Amino acid sequence: MTGVVSNTSPLTNLAAIGATLVLMDERDGRHRAQRMGLRTMGVVGVLLLAKERGLLSAVRPSLDALRSQAGFWLSDAVYRQALGIAKETA
């Protein structure tokens, strides 16, 4: 079971119902979820998984749109790392 939360307060409930994955980008919330034994994945991980499964041909356009259109903060290091994992030139 996968849980989608926008803050950390529902994490206890997710753990109680047996969730195994929490989709969250907020750093403190991810750390709290991990301390509770929940696996976490953020939007970059979802994009990489989608490419791996053949649902996206490239992650770069989505990463660029997140940064330029959605105002999503993504460090240059994470951006380059994601492109490397996706085997796209940085």
Looking at the structure, do residues 55 and 28 belong to the same domain, yes or no?
A: no
Query: Do 26 and 53 fall into the same domain?
Result: no
| 50: Cβ contacts below 8 Å, ≥ 6 apart | 56, 59
Q: Give the type of residue at 26.
A: E
Instruction: Give pLDDT tens digits for 17-70.
Output: 777 788 888 888 888 888 888 889 999 999 999 999 999 999 999 999 999 999
48 with 81, same domain?
yes
Place of tokens 């970059």: 44
6 shares a domain with 18: yes
Domain count across the chain:
2
- Residue 27 and residue 7 in contact, taking contact as beta carbons nearer than 8 Å: no
Check pLDDT > 70 for residue 7: no
pLDDT value of residue 2: 54
- Position 1 scores a pLDDT of 53
Q: Are residues 24 and 48 in the same domain?
A: no
pTM: 0.77
Structural domain span for residue 77: 43-85
